[in-house]
């Protein structure tokens, strides 16, 4: 099922919840993955950039879970997407990293609140993943330079794939039944080695 909408819009999230309830009834797993990445130097970041990123990445994630929580089945797993940027300082990521750190904290707090209903909340923390977002948001030269630096800094010397993130999210949502409030790094060892 696909529902087009803006995660920062509460009416759009209401429409999503209504459609899910009508077509599925309950949810066994919720992967909250919508987000944007704005790489901007601290001194060039505008209020509009800050507000947009937090509206989509933080408010959108929070209210996606809030609106869909009544539909989560006992034993359901919720997985939020954070980023290695919330644990390692990276140039031009101050707002992005702050938003992802908020999601990390949200996974802990929501787990505490939802565990009495048998619902676990965890986070998957991708490192450099080949999603195409860099090519869409940077000049070709800047994207190539950024990719080369990320590969050079990564212990596995490569980008991860969306499939590797999806498999980690599925593990947290379904198989990690004794795991709550955790953040699982899918980053080629970048935050551990």
67 is catalytic: no
Q: Which of 164, 76, 171, 99 is nearest to 128 (CA)?
A: 164
Q: What's phi and psi for 72, nearest 5 deg?
A: -75, 125
Q: Which of 59, 67, 96, 147 is catalytic?
A: 96
From 50, 62, 67, 100, active-site residue: 100
Cα–Cα distance measured from residue 48 to residue 45, given in angstroms and rounded to the nearest whole number = 8
Task: HSE, CB side, 13 Å, CA atoms: give it for residue 154.
Answer: 20
Residue 100 annotated in active site:
yes
Known catalytic residues are: 96, 100
């Amino acid at each position: 099922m696909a529902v087009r909408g803006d995660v920062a819009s509460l009416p759009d999230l209401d429409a999503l919840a209504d459609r899910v309830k009508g077509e599925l009834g309950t949810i066994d797993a919720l992967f909250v993955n919508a987000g944007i990445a704005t790489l901007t130097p601290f001194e060039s970041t505008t209020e509009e950039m800050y507000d947009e990123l937090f509206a989509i990445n933080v408010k959108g994630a929070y209210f996606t879970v809030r609106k869909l929580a009544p539909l989560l089945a006992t034993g359901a797993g919720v997985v939020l997407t954070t980023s290695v940027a919330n644990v390692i300082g990276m140039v031009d990521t101050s707002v992005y990293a702050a938003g992802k750190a908020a999601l990390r904290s949200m996974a802990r707090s929501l787990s505490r609140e939802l565990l009495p209903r048998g619902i676990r909340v965890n986070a998957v923390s991708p490192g450099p993943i080949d999603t195409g977002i860099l090519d869409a948001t940077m000049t070709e030269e800047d994207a190539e330079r950024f990719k080369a630096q990320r590969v050079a800094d990564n212990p596995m010397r490569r980008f991860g794939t969306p499939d590797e993130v999806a498999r980690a999210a599925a593990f947290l949502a379904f198989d990690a039944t004794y795991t709550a409030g955790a953040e699982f790094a899918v980053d080629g060892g970048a935050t551990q080695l």
